[in-house]
């Protein structure tokens, strides 16, 4: 599913224009991104949690050459699905 697919779904379900649907979707993504940038977790009831996690620098290996390289410290976004979402996905009740 792409962002365009999400916009189309919002357009069909809510009945606002495609431009307004795109603005709604973009606003939601912006709110999630801003919260994560500020270090705040994002918890969406019935869907899951997004968190920022700091990763330490570590040694890695270039698979092509075999040379060792240092992988720099960075932040990554993690997602943990809620039990409700997992149950719907696993039982096939997520449609409709």
Q: What is the pLDDT along the chain (96 residues), one digit of tens a residue?
A: 999 999 999 999 998 999 999 999 999 999 999 999 999 999 999 999 999 999 999 999 999 999 999 999 999 999 999 999 999 999 886 554
Place of tokens 């979707």: 25
Q: Which residues span the domain enclosing 76?
A: 3-91
Q: What is the pLDDT of residue 83?
A: 95
DSSP string over 3-34: HHHHHHHHHHHH---HHHHHHHHHHHHHHHHH
CATH number, domain containing residue 31 = 4.10.520.10
Question: Is residue 96 situated within a structural domain?
Answer: no
Spell out the residues 6+ positions from residue 14 whose beta carbon is closer than 8 angstroms to its own: 21, 24
Query: What's the pTM?
Result: 0.76
Q: What is the pLDDT of residue 94?
A: 56
Domains contained in the chain, number: 1
């Amino acid at each position: 599913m792409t962002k365009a697919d999400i916009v189309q779904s919002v357009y069909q379900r809510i009945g606002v224009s495609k431009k307004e649907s795109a603005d709604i979707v973009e606003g939601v993504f912006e709110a999630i991104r801003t919260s994560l940038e500020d270090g705040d977790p994002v918890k969406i009831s019935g869907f899951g949690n997004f968190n920022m996690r700091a990763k330490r620098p570590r040694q890695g290996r270039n698979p092509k050459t075999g040379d060792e390289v240092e992988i720099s410290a960075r932040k990554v976004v993690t997602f943990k699905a809620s039990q409700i979402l997992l149950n719907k996905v696993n039982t096939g009740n997520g449609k409709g």
